[in-house]
Chains A and B, each alone.
Chain A
Amino acid sequence: MKQITILSGKGGTGKTTIAAAFATLAKRVVVADCDVDAPNLHILLHPEVLEARDFTGSKMAVIDGTKCIKCLACREKCPFDAITQDIRVDPFSCEGCGVCKIVCPVDAITLVDRVSGRIYISRTKYGFMVHALLNPGEANSGRLVTMVRQYAKSLAEREGIDLIINDGPPGIGCPVIASVAGVDAGLVVTEPTMSGIYDLERAIGLLRHFNIGAFVCVNMYDVNEENTNKILKFCEEKGLEVIGRIPFNPLVAEAMVNGKTIIERSPESDVAREISAMWSRILSRLSPR
Chain B
Amino acid sequence: MIIAVASGKGGTGKTSVAVNLAISMKSVQLLDCDVEGPNAHIFLKPRIIRQEPVYRLVPSIKEERCDYCGKCAALCRYHAILVAPKKVLVFPELCRGCGACILACPQGAIVEGRNKIGTVKEGYSDDLRIVFGELEVGEPMASPLIREVKRRIDESRDAILDAPPGTGCPMIETVKGSDFCILVTEPTPFGLHDLKMAVKVLEEMKIPYGVVINKVGIGDKKVYEYCHEKGIPILLEIPYERRIAELYSRGIPFSLEISGWSAKFQDLFKNVKELMEG
Contacts and interface: CB of A to CB of B under 8 A. Distances in A.
Contacts of B15: 195
Residue among A8, A134, A173, A253 with the highest chain B CB neighbour number at 10 A: A173
Interface in A47-101: 58-59, 77, 79-80, 92-93, 95-99
B103 A37 contact: no
Given A38-B10, A95-B98, 15 more contacts: A37-B166, A40-B194, A58-B77, A79-B97, A92-B176, A102-B103, A137-B204, A141-B166, A171-B34, A176-B36, A205-B138, A206-B137, A224-B250, A227-B250, A256-B219
B205 A9 contact: no
B165 interface: yes
B166 A38 contact: yes
Contacts of B113: none
B87 to A, nearest CB: 24
Contacts of A111: 77
Contact of B75 (A11, A98, A173): A98
Given A174-B141, A224-B246, A193 B168 contact: no
B37 A202 contact: yes
Interface of A: 8-13, 16, 35-38, 40, 43, 58-59, 77, 79-80, 92-93, 95-99, 102-103, 111, 134, 136-142, 169-177, 191-195, 198-199, 202, 205-206, 209-210, 223-224, 227, 250, 253, 256-257, 259
Contacts of B141: 173-174
Contacts of B220: 257
Contact of B37 (A43, A95, A172): A172
Residue among B11, B34, B170, B248 with the highest chain A CB neighbour number at 10 A: B11
27 contacts: A11-B11, A11-B165, A12-B11, A38-B166, A40-B9, A40-B194, A43-B193, A77-B103, A79-B96, A79-B98, A79-B99, A96-B77, A97-B96, A97-B100, A102-B104, A137-B167, A141-B166, A170-B36, A173-B139, A194-B43, A194-B250, A194-B251, A199-B37, A205-B138, A206-B138, A210-B138, A256-B189
B218 interface: yes
A172 B12 contact: no
A137 B172 contact: yes
B123 interface: no
Given A12-B12, A256-B190, A136 B249 contact: no
A212 B194 CA distance: 29
B232 interface: no
A92 B205 contact: yes
B168 A37 contact: yes
A171 B77 contact: no
Contacts of B200: 136-137
